[in-house]
Chain A
Amino acid sequence: GENVEQHPSTLSVQEGDSAVIKCTYSDSASNYFPWYKQELGKRPQLIIDIRSNVGEKKDQRIAVTLNKTAKHFSLHITETQPEDSAVYFCAASRGAAGNKLTFGGGTRVLVKP
């Protein structure tokens, strides 16, 4: 089955700096890669996703890149703000809605004002 590794497990950045989180996956058939933000005690919220037919996607301060050959994808947050502090999870899945998401271990991001 799919295995998703996520690094780093914790990340502390100064407000205004960039944060980068990296994930690798094992199943070459995976073609959907979402990123979730989870605040303490809350449900995960999708912040951005990418499908395997594109290499990069951007939404304001958030971008995701995908390298299918190397089977890794990354989340980039620019101009970080204190409200970006949370736990971020990457995930991977095959295409159909009935297919499960496999999550990485999570990255606890702390943005220091």
Chain B
Amino acid sequence: QVRLQESGPGLVKASQTLSLTCTVSGGSSSSGGYYWYWIRQHPGKGLEWIGYIYYSGTTHYNPSLKSRVTISVDTSKNQFFLNLYSVTAADTAVYYCARDLGYCTGSNCYSLVYWGRGILVTVSS
């Protein structure tokens, strides 16, 4: 069973960098065919897709955050990372990491089958 666990500071000061780690167990971030994601949820609100990384390092980001976000991976540690720069109070949210189904229809399915429990990050002024 694949498990994902987010970790990092729960409090970040405005204008600083939010840095989170997702540790994968029961599987491998170096496994081909899967994409690894960051999604966030503002308090009491819906879900926002931040971006993904493929094990090879290919990334894709939400244009609404693109200039402030990087996602990276360390396959040797089975971890992937989120860095969100120049944060403001609007970045206060629960941040989730997730993995997709991989190949399911002869092509990749980006359905998010494994999720971490989420970590609340509060941006303080």
Decide whether A and B assemble into one complex: no
A residues whose Cβ falls under 8 Å from a Cβ of B: none
